[in-house]
Amino acid sequence: MNNATAEASKEKQHTVVIVGGGAAGISVASSLHKRDSSLDIAIIEPSQTHHYQPGWTMVGGGIFKPEATSKPMAAVMPGFASWYKQSVLSIGEEHNQVVLADGSKIGYQALVLAPGLELNWSGIDGLKESLGSNGVSSNYQEGMASYTWATVQNLKSGRALFSQPPIPIKCAGAPQKAMYLSSDYWLRNSVLNNIDIQFHNAGAVLFGVPDYVPALEDYIEKYGIELNYQSTLVAVNGPAHKATFRRTDPNGNTEDREIGFDMLHAVPPQRAPEFIRDSKLANEGGWLDLEDDTLRHKRHTNIFGLGDVSGTGNAKTAAAIRKQAPVVAENLLANLRNQPMKAAYLGYGSCPLTVENGRIVLAEFGYNGTLQPTFPSWINDGTKATKAAWYLKAKQLPALYWHVMLKGHEWLAKPARR
C-alpha cells in the first residue's frame, strides 16, 4: 500500500461535519463557531469559487457587474474550519461518516447537510445545448446572466418567452424577476410595443402567496405580458428559434405546442443532489427529510440540514438560510450536550421581486404563506412595489451577505422558541 492509498483509507474525525460551502454551509459554520469556538468543524466543498447567486438576476437586468457576485472560495471559507476540497460520494449515516469522491471517509458526531440543489438541465430536451446562443439564456446558469442582459439590449422587436418549471425551485420568483427587468428596459427604450412577451408557468398561479399577486398583476398589465399557466417548457431548438411547451388542462390532459421566439429565458427543473435523493435520508420527493421547526432529520437525531436541499415547505432562498442557520446552530449544540432543542424555524423566506429598475415587491412569508414582514409597513409595505425595498436589494443586501451573514452575525435572525 503506497502512502497516498494509506492516507485515503484513514478515517478522519471531526465533531461537526458540514457538507456544502455555499451560503448555508458557511453561515451555519460561523453561527456554530460564534456559540462555541472550541468546536472541531469541517466543511466539505469542492468548488473554488463562492457565488452570491441572488445577484445573478441583477446582472441579467444590467444592474450589477458579474464580478460583484463571486469571490474565491478561499476568501470566504472560515479559517477555523478544516476544508475538504472534494465532492461527496455518499453518506454513511449508520456509521456516522461521510464518504468522499476519492473513497476516503470522514467521521462525525453531528452532521449538517447543506449541499444545495441540482439544476436538471437535461430535464428540458435541447436546453443545455442551446444556452448562450440564438437568444436562449438562463440567469440560473453561472456566467449566463451577462448573455441575458446582452440579449435584452439587442432585442428591438419580436417575441420574448420566459419560463418557470414546476416547483420546488431555487427562488421561485427569479423567473419573473428576469421578465420584469427585461420588460422595464424595453419600456424605457420605447420598444416594448414591438415585443410580444409571454410568461409560461408550470404552476397554476402567478405567485404562491396571494397577498402579493395584485401588485404583480399591475406590472403584468403595465408591460402587456401574456400569462400561460400550467404550461411547462419541455424542449428547445435554439437554431430554429422554437420552444415546445406542454399545456395541461383542468382534466389533466396534455397537449404540446411549439412557439417561435427571438429571446427565451429558460429555467430548468431542479432536484436534490444524487447522493441525497437516492439515499435513505430523502423524503418521497427526493429532498432531505427534516422536521419543519427544528431542522433535524426525522429519523437520525445527529443529522441536521438547511438551505435548498431541505424538504421543508419554505421557499428556497438565501433569506431562508439567514433564519435557518441560527436554528441549526442552537439545536445542534443542544443535541451534542443532551439538552432539549428550543430553537424553531417558522418557514421564513424572502423574495425581492424586481418589478422594475428602482422598485421591488418585497415578499416575506413563512409556512403556509403566512406573512412575516421584517420591517413595519411605514418603512416598507411588502405587498406593494417600493423604492425602499429596491435600495435594500441593490445597495445593502450584497454587503450584508458577504460581511454579516457569512460571518455568523445574525442580523434580524433570532430564532423563534419551541
Rounded average pLDDT over 15-32: 98
pTM for this entry: 0.95
Amino acid code (one letter) for 16:
V
Residue 258: pLDDT over 60 = yes
Whether 307 and 290 have beta carbons less than 8 Å apart is answered as no
Q: What pLDDT shows up at residue 4?
A: 36
Residue 87 burial (CB count, 10 A): 16
> What does the pLDDT look like over 196-229, one tens digit per residue?
999 999 999 999 999 999 999 999 999 999 999 9
Residues annotated as catalytic (active site), given as ranges: 171, 351
pLDDT band at 182 (very low <50, low <70, confident <90, very high): very high
Residue 252: pLDDT over 80 = yes
**pLDDT above 70 as % of the chain:** 97
Residue 188: pLDDT over 90 = yes
The whole-angstrom separation of Cα 343 and Cα 373 is 20
Q: What pLDDT shows up at residue 415?
A: 94
> What does the pLDDT look like over 337-390, one tens digit per residue?
999 999 999 999 999 999 999 999 999 999 999 999 988 777 778 899 999 999
Whether 306 and 114 have beta carbons less than 8 Å apart is answered as yes
Q: Which of 255, 237, 238 is nearest to 246 (CA)?
A: 255
Q: What pLDDT shows up at residue 61?
A: 98
Helices assigned H by DSSP within 192-292: 213-223, 274-277
Rounded average pLDDT over 147-163: 98
Rounded average pLDDT over 297-307: 98
Q: What pLDDT shows up at residue 10?
A: 67
Whether 335 and 313 have beta carbons less than 8 Å apart is answered as no
Residue 28: pLDDT over 80 = yes
